[in-house]
Amino acid sequence: MPEEKGMAFIDGANLNRSAEDLGFRIDYKKLKVFLEEWLKEQGYQLIRPYYYTADDRAPQRKKFFDLLEVFGYDVRLVDITKRGTTNIQKGVDVKLAIEILKFGYNKNYDCAILCSGDQDFIPLVHAVKDLGKKVYAAAFNHSCAEEIKRIPDKWFNLTEVVDQIKLEWKIV
């Protein structure tokens, strides 16, 4: 029997900020491998991870996005909005929510992994489950809303695998 399809939807700002709170940066190549293995244990094949964030058009960010694409991520960007002299991220969560629902409605996946602990996604989790899809969530315990731990079909505490997904700096 062929494995069912899984897609990962990563709230980049949420995951990166949560990792920084713990004093490390995420190695997204390692995170993809972890998600593939975790999904496989559940009977799903990761067919595509999506990474959502705002883009300030900085050259170093472009290099990061290019590297994510090399690792197999589909990078989804929303332009940074200026409010006075401050840059703010607006629309990323909405873009992620629309696409996870669109892909679910179009039967592109059987299981979605939401990689975020943001409580704003609680209605989204309910809506995806209402489509008859499995919803898993993965986030760091310290920055995850309690409902995001309870409402999905499964929840994984990324704090337990920091050593597996941490970016290691190697001096060459």
90/30 Cα distance (integer angstroms):
28
Is residue 141 in a domain?
A: no
What does each C-alpha distance from 24 to 2, 158, 161, 164, 167 come to in angstroms?
37, 13, 12, 12, 7
Q: Please indicate, yes or no, if residue 146 is contained in any of the structural domains.
A: no
Q: What percent of the chain has pLDDT over 90?
A: 84
Query: Is residue 139 assigned to a domain?
Result: no
The answer to whether residue 69 sits within a structural domain is: yes
Q: What is the DSSP string of 154-171?
A: EEEEGGGGHHHHBPPP--
Question: What is the pLDDT, as a whole number, of residue 81?
Answer: 76
**Residue at 172 is within a domain:** no
Q: What pLDDT is attached to residue 170?
A: 61
pLDDT, one tens digit per residue, over 23-40 is: 999 999 999 999 999 999
Put simply, whether the predicted model's pTM sits higher than 0.85 gets the answer yes
pLDDT in tens, 43-95: 999 999 999 999 888 888 899 999 999 999 999 999 887 778 877 778 899 99
In a domain, 148, yes or no: no
Q: Which CATH number covers residue 161?
A: 3.40.50.1010
Which range marks the domain in which residue 70 is found?
Answer: 4-106+121-131+155-165
Which residues have CB under 8 Å from 167's CB, separation 6+? 24, 25, 26, 27, 30
Domain count of the chain?
Answer: 1
Instruction: Report residue 1's pLDDT band, with 50, 70 and 90 as the boundaries.
Output: very low
Asked whether residue 71 is domain-assigned, the answer is yes
In a domain, 21, yes or no: yes
